[in-house]
A and B are shown apart, each in its own frame.
Chain A
Amino acid sequence: MIEDEQSFTIKVPIQKAWDFISDINKISSCLPGLDKAEIIDENTADITIKQMMGIIPFYVKIRNTITERQPPHKFVSVGSGEHLEQVKLTLELKETSPSETEVTYKMLVIASGNVKGMVEYMMNKKKEEQTAQFVAALKQKLE
């Protein structure tokens, strides 16, 4: 099981941040290494992530479903895919001023099957880089 958590501030009001984050199309566009996002409905998307291991790309297809929306404070999506039992993304928003929002990003990945150990090892090695990419993409698109 791999977990990562980070809090950061974005310079937009909480409602604007929420409108973006809770839109499956928009939030998917911030996922690190996004290769393809196929929106199935307002709560479901098939996401293909491209993860580089040196020059070798690893493609991971995940079906992602939004399981919780508590406007404008909490968003949870849960996905699964090949070798991945669960990929859970939780975003919690807190208003720090009328023009600033603190976002807490929590990621949990549980791999499965024969390659569980290897997949979790890879994810662990990449998690800081991925979190940084997610934060940068969110800031760039929102601020």
Chain B
Amino acid sequence: MAEYDVVVIGAGHNGLVNANYLAKSGLKVICVEKNQNIGGGCSTEEVTLPGFKHNLHSTFHGWLPMGPVYKDLNLENYVNYVYPPANHVSLFDNNRSLVVYRSMDLVCKQIEQFSKKDAVTYRRIFKSYKEFIDTVFVPWFFSPPVNQSDLIATLEKSPEGMELYQWMMSTPMNIYNELFESDELKNHLMARVLILGMPHDYYGSGLIAIFAIIKVINPICVGGSRNLAEGLARLLKEQGGEVINNTPVEKIIVKDGAAVGVKTAGGKEIMAKKAVVSNIEPKQTMLGMVGPDKLDEWYVSKVNAFKPDAHAIFGVHYALNDAPKYTHAEKNPDVNMGFSQDIFGNKIEDFTDFFADVRRGIPPRKPAFQCCAPTVHDPTQAPPGKHTAFIWQPVPYNLRGKGPEGWADIAEEYADYLQSIWQEYAPNISGSNILGRFVHDPLKAMEYNNNFIGGGFNAGDMSPDQMGNLRPIVNWAQYRTPIKNLYMCGCSNHPGGSVSGSPGYCAAGIIHDDLGIKRWWKGLV
């Protein structure tokens, strides 16, 4: 029987980040992964043709360099990033487009095509809130959840703070309608919010609308997103830790109310002297692996009530001869050089129509998808001269009357439909330019990574009632669980989905405190 100090269930990037922080304190740590390949939401698989590397989930890792993990773990020695010269590009009807660069002057020039007034407002919002986002929001994101009342009390002390507080309570759509007049800019910003994992109309999620104006960077992991996980695994091994793959954990062994190890699907027991940490969302961790019989009724009912993501992701991955060439580039040449080309309609109201379909369980007939060809910026993700690309469209997980299983019948046809729309913008997405195609519908996505309940980004909806000190379970939002020595470190916890490493990092801090071990890292400072 193998014995470690800590067993981490799941080798997603958060599990690996957590394992590394613990291993660096001298603990003997093992990460146990269900899949053949580690990474979870940082996956890269050759699903079309050999040599074509497809990122089935995350492609940009913009949060990671904002936080402490990248520096603390010296990740520059383990993983490389490239920064596309332009970020998000929105494509509209009649060859209109908006390219967002890192330079504010260039962004404002693009916005001026549609509204001079909006360009002025955009710059004003950026200038007014940049410091707040950098010095308050970003540390909030990389700290264990704080009492929301502390922040609100601070805002309530000034008229400027009150205005921000009102926006925080509002929806991204309301805020963009209040601030801007141009349909194109509002549509573009709304797409950015959606790409960050939030719908347009959640009351209480308004801060993300301001964040989306201030922070736009899209670093791409060289060689594919899985290289982040591989880099973290290499570091873990250098620190004496272990990673095993192809090993689903079935049970968390609980003795006298405390987690003491795990039992794998193959019947192997791996014991943990100090802690078991789960990278998986609470329903599977607490109800599946621990079992409701070991938990009180209240907690069980709260875990049952934890909501999956509000929408799933329908991905179509391509192996291409040539990168997509957009007709919009004739008028706006940098269109082809953006991180992604986003086709989300023409105005902000399109999001309402589109989400109405999603919420009714109908695959939307309105296109709302992000297209991305990572190989334009990182040629190592395909054989020399060739390209990979993908589109992803938010869709319902449960198809009306058919449930998620219904996707098996319609996935290829729906992919054809989305591809036909994409072709209108990029005519070379056709014929012999397409060397291979892989449809990653929500059902397949869940088979690949069962952590993403509801087939979305976040392993649990990011509605305000499941955020901050309410995520994932009210009164249990500090990465701890009612089972002693059992912790959760995945993106079902604060601050939620994305490749930030934050849940893994924050949980590592809490575990150090509980074990009475001095943290070796300096913290946010």
Contact = CB atoms under 8 A, between A and B. Distances in A.
A54 B161 contact: no
A53 to B, nearest CB: 5
B506 to A, nearest CB: 9
A43 B261 CA distance: 58
A121 B129 CA distance: 17
Contacts of B524: 117-118, 120-121
A143 B130 CA distance: 36
A135 to B, nearest CB: 22
Contact of B154 (A54, A58, A124, A126): A58
Interface in B134-149: 134-136, 139-140, 143, 146-147
B525 A54 contact: no
B154 A121 contact: no
Contacts of A52: 131
B155 to A, nearest CB: 7
A115 interface: yes
In this complex, the member of A2, A53, A58 whose beta carbon has the largest number of chain B beta carbons within 10 angstroms is A53
Given A59-B157, A117-B524, A120-B523, A54 B128 contact: yes
B158 interface: yes
A117 B523 contact: yes
A122 B139 contact: yes
B221 to A, nearest CB: 26
A118 B146 contact: yes
Interface string A37-55: 0000000000000001111
Interface string B100-143: 00000000000000000000000000011111111110011001
A52 B154 CA distance: 12
A103 B369 CA distance: 61
Interface residues of A, number: 20
A55 B139 contact: no
A53 B158 contact: no
B134 A125 contact: yes
A71 interface: no
Contact of A115 (B146, B158, B160): B146
Given A53-B132, A125-B135, A114 B150 contact: yes
B66 interface: no
B139 A118 contact: yes
Contacts, number: 67
A115 B128 contact: no
Given A59-B157, A117-B523, A122-B139, A54 B131 contact: yes
Contacts of B147: 114-115
A39 to B, nearest CB: 22
B136 A122 contact: yes
B196 interface: no
A118 B150 CA distance: 11
A142 to B, nearest CB: 30
Given A56-B161, A57-B160, A114 B131 contact: no
Nearest to A58: B154
Nearest to A122: B135
Given A118-B136, A125-B134, A125-B135, A54 B523 contact: no
Contacts of A118: 136, 139-140, 143, 146, 524
Interface string B31-42: 000000000000
A56 B525 contact: no
A126 B135 CA distance: 9
A53 B157 CA distance: 13
Contact of A117 (B129, B131, B143, B157): B143
B209 to A, nearest CB: 16
B483 interface: no
B319 to A, nearest CB: 44
Contact of A114 (B139, B146, B154): B146
A83 interface: yes
Contacts of B157: 57-59
A115 B150 contact: yes
In this complex, the member of B129, B154, B523 whose beta carbon has the largest number of chain A beta carbons within 10 angstroms is B154
A122 B523 CA distance: 13
B164 interface: yes
A54 B129 CA distance: 5
A83 B147 CA distance: 12
B139 A121 contact: yes
A52 B376 CA distance: 41
Nearest to A53: B132
Contacts of B135: 53, 121-122, 125-126
Nearest to A119: B139
Contacts of A59: 154, 157-158
A48 to B, nearest CB: 10
Interface in A73-101: 83
Contacts of B523: 117, 120-121
Interface string A1-12: 010000000000
B34 to A, nearest CB: 33
A98 to B, nearest CB: 41
Contact of B132 (A2, A56, A121): A56
Nearest to B149: A114
Contact of B128 (A55, A120, A122): A55
A59 B147 CA distance: 18
A56 B158 contact: yes
Contacts of B140: 118
23 contacts: A52-B131, A53-B131, A53-B136, A54-B127, A54-B133, A55-B128, A56-B129, A56-B136, A57-B157, A57-B158, A57-B161, A59-B154, A59-B158, A114-B150, A115-B146, A117-B523, A118-B136, A118-B140, A121-B139, A122-B135, A122-B136, A124-B525, A125-B135
Given A115-B147, A122-B136, 19 more contacts: A2-B525, A53-B131, A53-B132, A53-B135, A54-B130, A55-B132, A56-B132, A56-B158, A56-B164, A57-B157, A57-B158, A57-B160, A58-B154, A58-B157, A59-B154, A115-B143, A121-B524, A124-B525, A125-B134
3 cross-chain pairs, A with B, having the tightest CB-CB distances, nearest first:
A54-B131, A121-B139, A121-B524
